[in-house]
Amino acid sequence: MVGLAGRFPGGDDLDGYWRLLTEGRSAIGQVPPERWGARPGDFAALLPDVTSFDAAFFGIPPEEAAAMDPQALVLLEESVALLAHAGYTREEVKGSRTGVYVGARGRLRAEDETRHSIRAVGQNYLAANVSQFLDLRGPSLVVDTACSSALTAMNMAVQALRDGEVESAVVGAVSLLTTGEAHDGMRHRGILSPEPAFHVFDRRAAGAVLGDGCGLVLLKPLDRAVADGDRVYAVLKGIAVNNSGRTAGPTAPSFEAQKDVLRTALERSGLHGEDIGHVETNGSGSQVTDLLELKAIQDVYRAGSDRPLTLGSVKPSIGHPLCAEGIAAFLKAVLSLVHRQQAPFLSGQEPLDHFDLAASPFRFPRAVEGWTDRRPVAAVNCFADGGANAAAILAAWDDAAAPTPVRKPLSAPLLDRRPLPGTARTAPAAPAAPVIDPAAPVTDPAAAPAAGSPLIWETYAATATTGSEGQSTPSTVWERF
């Protein structure tokens, strides 16, 4: 990983996300009525504003941007932040064989509802918009395997990197709750929590609480990253995906399939089970499925070993961000490796009835803890509806053994985000914030981009006066940076 970006509830960027996690806070609360006329009992962890956008900066007519899936707009914004965090200007990546692999479920709209271009209705444009704006020439695709979408997309990107099809890859996922449909569906299935708390590995588990989220990483082969002078934040050692096949039902898990995907990722990493020091779990909020996951982790990573293994989950902190679940957990693991810290786990205080936690090697951090391993290794689990399972193993980067990186994060452009025509604010807008270097302490003022950054991003718009009000609207946009 040579670049990171993301926006999750409780934080405007990854620095805010890490602060939320390390301070042991939860962003879960009552859904405000302005979101979708939410009813009492609708709980979620939400981003503060998903209907404002700097249409001129991205060269999209405001009316068309208003018709687009808000997920597409957030992805565009985060792709710009990702590039800046990796230390690259748009001109440097222009025309490169960089692929875009996005996990998402689009909000489809009929053509006659929008009367705008295809990018307002085509799910493929969630990724294609990024490729077009940054002029990236690698594959551009959207993957939907439900909760494991991000890691499934990442597995595809890794294969393309190994085959030489791409030289780098933008990988991530997005999920926004812009309507109450997801709540209605999960309530109908009886798996929506009746309270504003998501309990995992806990006898109080009573279902899921949903959430928003968007996260991206920039991947390169390690030798290429070192040669390019990139700053390496962590190393993806192994990744695997599979399916549960036929089970008791479409959402029923397979214990054997879970063990198989964990074992395959471990084998591909070249590591041993005892090397894993922390697992970011799937954590479904159901006692039965949580029990199966604990047993799968123990069988693969601690077979015949009592070495302590910490477990965590983002869901008690930010809810279940659906297709973005995998990237939320993955980025938490990366930040943990970068900071050499583990964040506190907000659930599991009341152990499951049929698992003796005290007799197992597992434990839950209750405060910020430092890693004791010289080179920490973390694993990420994602088990989705439909049986699409994914697992990844990451290792901290050994800075001392590598050349000094040449590239450093650049200041992200300050976007002039404004409410789009015909949209209403979903919550008070959060102030725009530059991307923060996650390797710097969260309290370190030096983490903020310095004034006089070499990145100069200017937008020039030719305006045409139209309409009886004589308003000027951008018709053409040029950018230089």
Q: pLDDT (tens digit, 9 = 90+) per residue, 67-112? A: 999 999 999 999 999 999 999 999 999 999 999 999 999 876 555 4
pLDDT average, residue stretch 213-222: 98
Confidence grade of residue 119 (pLDDT, cut at 50, 70, 90): confident
**Could you give the angle at the alpha carbon of 129 between the alpha carbons of 181 and 431, nearest 5°?**
70
pLDDT average, residue stretch 214-218: 98
Residue 60 has pLDDT above 60, yes or no: yes
Confidence grade of residue 235 (pLDDT, cut at 50, 70, 90): very high
Beta strands in 246-372, from DSSP E residues, in sequence order: 278-280, 309-312, 341-342, 362-363, 369-370
Lowest mean pLDDT among 19-28, 106-115, 446-455: 446-455
What integer best gives the mean pLDDT of the chain? 87
Cα(440)–Cα(294) distance, integer angstroms:
33
pLDDT average, residue stretch 23-30: 97
Confidence grade of residue 41 (pLDDT, cut at 50, 70, 90): confident
Tokens representing 90 are 């748009």
Cα(207)–Cα(286) distance, integer angstroms:
6
What pLDDT was estimated at residue 109? 57
Packing angle, helices 325-339 and 149-163, rounded to 10: 70
pLDDT average, residue stretch 143-156: 98
Closest CA to 395 of 235, 248, 166: 235
- Contacts of 465 by beta carbon, 8 Å cutoff, 6+ apart: 471, 472
What pLDDT was estimated at residue 55? 96
Confidence grade of residue 115 (pLDDT, cut at 50, 70, 90): low
What pLDDT was estimated at residue 79? 98
Residue 257 has pLDDT above 60, yes or no: yes
Tokens representing 174 are 């997005």
Element (H, E) at 75: helix 70-86
Residue type at position 99:
G
pLDDT average, residue stretch 408-431: 74
Whole-prediction pTM value?
A: 0.87
Closest CA to 7 of 214, 208, 190, 145: 214
pLDDT average, residue stretch 417-445: 49
Residue 157 has pLDDT above 50, yes or no: yes
Lowest mean pLDDT among 166-180, 308-322, 453-467: 453-467
Lowest mean pLDDT among 48-57, 248-257, 399-408, 441-450: 441-450
**Could you give the angle at the alpha carbon of 340 between the alpha carbons of 162 and 161, nearest 5°?**
10
- Cα distance between the two ends of the chain: 24
DSSP secondary structure of 302-325: STT----EEEE-SHHHH-B-GGGH
Higher pLDDT, residue 402 or 390: 390
- Residue reference for tokens 């025509």: 421
> Are the CB atoms for 6 and 213 separated by under 8 Å?
yes
Residue 148 has pLDDT above 80, yes or no: yes
Q: Above pLDDT 70, what percent of the chain?
A: 85
Tens-digit pLDDT profile for residues 262-299: 999 999 999 999 999 999 999 999 999 999 999 999 99
Residue type at position 359:
A
Tens-digit pLDDT profile for residues 335-364: 999 999 999 999 999 999 999 999 999 999
Cα(299)–Cα(305) distance, integer angstroms:
10
Lowest mean pLDDT among 37-41, 212-216, 319-323, 376-380: 37-41
DSSP state of 104: -
Lowest mean pLDDT among 63-67, 406-410, 421-425: 421-425
Confidence grade of residue 442 (pLDDT, cut at 50, 70, 90): very low
Confidence grade of residue 301 (pLDDT, cut at 50, 70, 90): very high
